Structure 1
Amino acid sequence: MSVESGEGGAGAPNNTEEGKLPEGWAWAAVSEVLVGSDAGKSFKCDPRPATPEEWGIIKVSAMTWGEFRSAENKALLDNKLVNRNYEIQSGDILVSRANTVEHVGAPVLVGDVRPRLLLSDKSLRFTPGSAVDRKWFVYWLRSPAVRKAIAAKASGTSDSMRNISQSDLKAIVLPIPPAAEQRRIADALDERLARLDEMAQLIAHARAHAATLRKQILLNAIPEPASWPTDWEATTADQAGTIDLGRARHPDWHDGPKMRPYLRVANVFEDRIDTTSLMEMDFSEGFGKYRLLPGDILLNEGQSPHLVGRPAMYKGIPEGVAFTNSLLRFRAGDNVLPGWALLVFRRHLHAGRFMREVRITTNIAHLSTSRLKAVEFPVPTLDEQRRLVAETKGRLARVDALDLLLDRTEAHTAALRRALLAEAFAGRLVPQDSNDEPAEDLLKCIRAEREAAEAERKAARRAASQARRKSRSSAKQPASTVTPPPAPTSKTPLPESEQTTLPLEFTE
């Protein structure tokens, strides 16, 4: 049952200012606005995308970013498994059932779509009643209230991945405006969110420009080896300092009397160490060997190819931290400043120097200790190192300021987007019209549609079941079922051509 405006009820907001609805609106669960819903199916797939002539299974990334990306699919391995009931059509509303924490439950309205794409078991398809505006419904699924409800219901043991069940999604309560107002809301959101989308594109372009500037500054700070000044000492990383691999993790060290925090790849970014999520292991032995000191440079030993060797300086916070074997540590020698070492390694990262030294296993690039030791390393005088580090820091600081401005602009844009959606579903984005048909009438129509659709589905299932029984019955009959002619009787004389002579029997 739907819950009328201001009445409260199961699953509806309390009768507070937030729970009240404009005249003509009504509360209802998602299940009450649907005439059907489908869960996808698990298929055996090839990781490669399907060609346009092949059947493919969509990935969750196809519906993650607010638009349906048909290229995000995997090729079906066995076409015999194709069930056209799972084929995606234009106008479908799809929801990501399993995704990252940020995008679980992400909805998308499918526009033009190539044929032969199937729904996967990580996705759902919702079919609202004909009186429900589909764009309005998708906007509601993206609203802050729904995102909050999904976050509360999503489950999963992974730090990054979450799942939401179909039943939990269908139990979420939403405010239903009249059908005409739904269309007005959707049109208003189209216009306003399009402007924010343009702003997001400008921010993305500015970020790309800032990244290009940062790379160029680092490349210009230190020339290529052939152009090093003659008073610079040409050495290798091994000669400029000491290089060590971190401690391997082992189940035996998950608990113990001397637990210590350690850094891993997830903590080391370019010129930044994130200590918000530190793990610990027992260092009853060997802590001194792996203890970090202020000024140590950490480089990613295992990463994606373009990020392997990503460096950052440990500045002593927090104290008493070790590092694992997913990282390499460079400790500068007496004639090398830690800041200069960081600058050299950042330059190598952006020049693609580390990529020439990596070995790739299972899509992860590795930079071994021996290969890092052999990488070229220039050593100017200490005064020259200080000058170049200071000049480069000044130039990079201006790019960092641009990044901070873009961060603030992006946060403001995201806040505006949330506010627009919240206003829309509180009835404050467009005016109400007392001549609009009330939402309660809309819900009655949907109930009738749903009952008719369910009756149709039941009839189709009965017909399919009868067809299967008939097919099995036919399969059990003999191959030839010719009926013999009836036996002649004394009242039915045979034709002359078919008469026979019977032998006479005599008894003595």
Structure 2
Amino acid sequence: MNVQAAVYTNERGQDRKHTPWPLPAGWTWVALDDLGNWTGGGTPSKTVASFWTDGTIPWVSPKDMKLDVIGTTEDLITKEALDRSATKLVPAGSVLMVMRSGILRHSFPVARTDRPVTLNQDLRALTPINALDPNYLARYLARSARAVLDACSKDGTTVNSIDAKSLGRFRVPVPPLAEQHRIVARIDALFEEIAEGEQALDAARKGLETYRRALLKAAVTGELTADWRETTDVDVSGQDIVRLIEHDLSLAKRRPAPSGESAGLLPIPDTWGWSTLGTLASSVRNGTSSAPRATPNDNEILRISAVRSMYIDASQIRYLSESQAAASAEATVQSGDLLFTRYNGSADLVGVGAIYRGPQRFYPDKIIRVRLHAALEDGAAFVELAANAGNGRKHIAANIKTTAGQQGLSGESLKQTPIPVPPPSEAKEILRRVADGLAAASDTRHVLDAEASDVQRLRQSILRAAFEGRLVPQDPGDEPAGATLARLKASNTIATPARRGRRAKS
């Protein structure tokens, strides 16, 4: 290896070439080519079973590059594969880098290996010289991912790739070896503290979700307003509302209301009544099966992804042609209607619903529109709540079926969803308290998100300080990096291993 660039420094230990930032005394900028020996990869023939059956040697591919340290891998090869293919054994303590993968559009995966491994052809490994701590190098390259991609990416390739020669010229700020060890130890200690903080943030987020579920459950069982009922009389009960709706002969033919405890439902106050979503609705209808298009016009149709639990993203729209719109006149939603998802790849997103508030639009056949009976007046907000929590959500989750890889809910099952009906005055109080509780939770989540962003910025600040020489104090007694490199060269410690002939693939 050529170490001229490594030792060509001034009296303060700074590289005389252009450098991204000034370095402390004893540090120097060194190209990757001068910091170790490169090893490429290869793939043993997949047609030779003995290369892969009962393998014990890790074979690293881009899909394994998700951790800081590579231990085991998804694929293992045999000693026979190593002996009879182009792949080579990479020593423990090497730094692995992805050279060819779609992930290079936005990331530059780097990892260390704590044991000998082999690589596929989309990776390269740098085995550092004795003057370089592999932990330090891996930390620096991971922190410099954007710079590597900007400086070393190939142009005009079908698959995103790193140019090996450009990567070899990519320079690293190298401090004295003892200082490298101190830097790595300090980074690890600080990152461990940060990780503990992140765990606390995650626990707080989970606590918020637990609070949200408990709040909604209390809302739809009457627990939330137990104190309100003790001091407030009602003129119209929930049972009165249910009887009024069921008095309509056209609605009386619908499925009878659940009977509470006999149906395995959570108990509700005496002034409440049980009904079903189908009974409370004047119409329940699937949307249009017309395939939407991206070209904007006046015929807006909501996308399936627009509907989530108690939230509709009205910006999630596509468009129908004039002929499609004319054929889909019945598949429109108006402000105040409830929309529920009918199919989704995730069961958690099937049967979730929300009130639609906005101009009249079309909706697709994987969404079900529920238009409530006029007797409910402003009751849509409570029905939205009851369908997404407690017994309502429990019923929906129990009736989700899998068809062709999609999770689905039939319209009939949705109609059977049990809905508790409180007195109108109590429903308003419930909604007020829920809104206050969710707003407080949202404020707390914003604080947690801001703290999480601060954590990421703190990590970057620590790494920047580390590689600018500001994280740990310099020790004048440390041998300068340039002197170490020169000494290693003089003692022939730096050496390029003999080239190994390419083995014929079997």
Scaled by the length of structure 1, what TM-score is found?
Answer: 0.69
**In 1, Cα distance between the equivalents of 2:265 and 2:380?**
20
Contact 2:297 2:319 (8 Å CA) reproduced: no
Contact 1:240 1:332 (8 Å CA) reproduced: yes
Shift of 1:430: 1.7
Shift of 1:347: 0.4
* Residue from 162, 166, 174 that aligns with 1:165: 162
Contact 2:26 2:481 (8 Å CA) reproduced: yes
CA RMSD of aligned residues (A): 4.5
Task: Give the total of aligned pairs.
Answer: 434
Contact 1:240 1:333 (8 Å CA) reproduced: yes
Shift of 1:189: 0.9
* Residue from 379, 384, 388 that aligns with 1:346: 388
User: Runs of 5+ in structure 1 lacking a partner?
Assistant: 14-18, 157-161, 473-508
Pair 1:280-2:318 in alignment: yes
SS of the aligned residue for 1:452 comes to coil
The answer for the alignment partner of 2:233 in structure 1 is none
Shift of 1:327: 4.1
Going from structure 1 to structure 2, the CA distance change for 1:151 and 1:386 (only over 3 Å counts) comes to: farther
Pair 1:399-2:431 in alignment: no
Going from structure 1 to structure 2, the CA distance change for 1:272 and 1:226 (only over 3 Å counts) comes to: closer
The answer for the alignment partner of 2:276 in structure 1 is 236
Shift of 1:169: 5.3
Contact 2:308 2:349 (8 Å CA) reproduced: no
The answer for the alignment partner of 1:452 in structure 2 is 496
**In 2, Cα distance between the equivalents of 1:146 and 1:416?**
17
Contact 2:44 2:81 (8 Å CA) reproduced: no
Contact 1:295 1:338 (8 Å CA) reproduced: yes
* Residue from 472, 481, 487 that aligns with 1:439: 481
**In 1, Cα distance between the equivalents of 2:163 and 2:25?**
30
Pair 1:371-2:413 in alignment: yes
Pair 1:139-2:142 in alignment: no
Mapping 1:239-258, distance limit 5 Å: 239-241=279-281, 242-248=283-289, 250=291, 253-255=293-295
1:252-274 Cα offsets, whole Å, 9 max, x none, are: 83447657474332x54444455
Residue type of the alignment partner of 1:165: I
**In 2, Cα distance between the equivalents of 1:33 and 1:142?**
16
**In 2, Cα distance between the equivalents of 1:332 and 1:123?**
60
**In 2, Cα distance between the equivalents of 1:413 and 1:165?**
30
Shift of 1:400: 2.8
Going from structure 1 to structure 2, the CA distance change for 1:365 and 1:450 (only over 3 Å counts) comes to: farther
Contact 2:387 2:417 (8 Å CA) reproduced: no
Shift of 1:136: 1.0
SS of the aligned residue for 2:347 comes to coil
Mapping 1:100-115, distance limit 5 Å: 104-111=107-114
Contact 1:235 1:376 (8 Å CA) reproduced: yes
Residue type of the alignment partner of 1:280: R
Contact 2:220 2:390 (8 Å CA) reproduced: no
SS of the aligned residue for 1:27 comes to strand
Residue type of the alignment partner of 2:133: D
Mapping 1:16-95, distance limit 5 Å: 19-39=21-41, 41=43, 62-64=64-66, 66=68, 68=70, 70=72, 74=74, 82-83=81-82, 85=87, 90-95=92-97
**In 1, Cα distance between the equivalents of 2:44 and 2:107?**
18
Going from structure 1 to structure 2, the CA distance change for 1:412 and 1:253 (only over 3 Å counts) comes to: closer
Residue type of the alignment partner of 2:140: W
**Percent identity, aligned pairs only?**
22
Mapping 1:120-269, distance limit 5 Å: 124-143=124-143, 145-147=144-146, 149-150=148-149, 165=162, 167=164, 172-223=170-221, 225=265, 227-229=267-269, 231-241=271-281, 242-248=283-289, 250=291, 253-255=293-295, 260=300, 262-265=302-305, 267-269=306-308
Q: Which is greater in Rg? A: 1
**In 1, Cα distance between the equivalents of 2:430 and 2:161?**
53
Mapping 1:384-395, distance limit 5 Å: 384-395=426-437
SS of the aligned residue for 1:190 comes to helix
Contact 2:347 2:407 (8 Å CA) reproduced: yes
Contact 2:57 2:79 (8 Å CA) reproduced: no
**In 1, Cα distance between the equivalents of 2:80 and 2:337?**
56
